Amino acid sequence: MIQALAGALVSHVLGQFIIALAGPDHPLPDRQAHRAQLYRTLLTGRRVLVVLDGVEDEANALPLMPTGSGSAVILTSRRRLPVLAGARQVNLSMWNVDDGYALLASIVGPQRLAAERKDARRLVGLCDGLPLALKVVGTRLAARPHWPVARMVDRLLDDRDRLDELTYQDMTVREGLARAYEEVGPIAQGMLRSLATLPMDEFRSSDATHLFDMAVAEAEDILASLAEVNLIETVNNETTPGLFHMWKLVRLFVRERTAEEGFALGARMAEPRQCGTCALPHPVHAVVTKG
């Protein structure tokens, strides 16, 4: 059984599962607790695989978890779900060029992409390997068979328009990034806005420490909260511990949000010195005000 959980009431999802298990004529209890009890009863003796897409809170998923040793559940989420005991965590990063190309080929058609292979691979890079972004551009190309792939590439080249172009019907990259952005607190949002102004995609926790003139532990906790909702990712490199990466699409979204909300980032700028992975001013006191 498959159900999208993002934005849906748990009681409603339980009702859909009960209908799937018992049929449309089976009476549905009004209270969520009673629906959960009926759901567990209907699962007795069954072997089921439940797929919950877009889980935003572990507490919402718990009433929907199948019981019994013969059943299993797959949960997908934009954020990590560390509270679920016994769960096997699989972190899916952005796709590489080959995997992204394969996804585009499955939507657009392999022959069409083969004729413009170089542009197709460039398109994957402009989408940061993000599956949703690739699905959007692939669907747009499929709906416009007269468009060469190069035309889609040209439309994504302008950073100011890229997030607008990564929208098709009810699929939008901007909305997914906005949900993740709203999940973190104002301090983490402020750090993200400042990090988005850095001239490189990778940075260390020490960069954030100097940028905000804060304790190492505090900066690490904030960066961890941003990584938890996949606005940044940890770079698994034993030789450079504490290294993080910010995707270009995230950077574009954050800069866009900063401009829209009228944030002014003020800083006392001294002579730059080497700090972490780039030359940063020291000290830098980032002051976030809403105009």
Same domain for 109 and 47, yes or no, is: no
Same domain for 211 and 282, yes or no, is: yes
Q: What is the pLDDT of residues 192-247, one digit of tens each?
A: 998 998 888 888 888 888 878 888 889 889 999 999 888 998 886 666 677 889 99
Same domain for 286 and 189, yes or no, is: yes
Same domain for 260 and 221, yes or no, is: yes
Decide if 157 is inside a domain.
yes
CB 284 within 8 A of CB 211: yes
Q: What is the pLDDT of residues 39-91, one digit of tens each?
A: 999 988 888 888 888 787 778 888 888 877 778 888 887 777 766 767 777 77
Same domain for 270 and 191, yes or no, is: yes
Taking each helix axis from N to C end, the angle separating 173-183 and 131-143, rounded to the nearest 10 degrees, works out to: 160
Decide if 53 is inside a domain.
yes
Number of domains in the chain: 3
Q: Cα–Cα distance between 206 and 242 in angstroms, integer?
A: 8
Q: What is the pLDDT of residues 118-176, one digit of tens each?
A: 999 999 999 999 999 999 999 999 999 999 999 999 999 999 999 999 999 989 999 98
Q: Cα–Cα distance between 173 and 127 in angstroms, integer?
A: 10
Q: Cα–Cα distance between 193 and 251 in angstroms, integer?
A: 8
Report the sign of the C-alpha dihedral through residues 170, 173, 176, 181, in that order: negative
Decide if 174 is inside a domain.
no
Q: Which residues span the domain enclosing 112?
A: 97-169
Nearest to 50 by CA among 60, 40, 64: 64
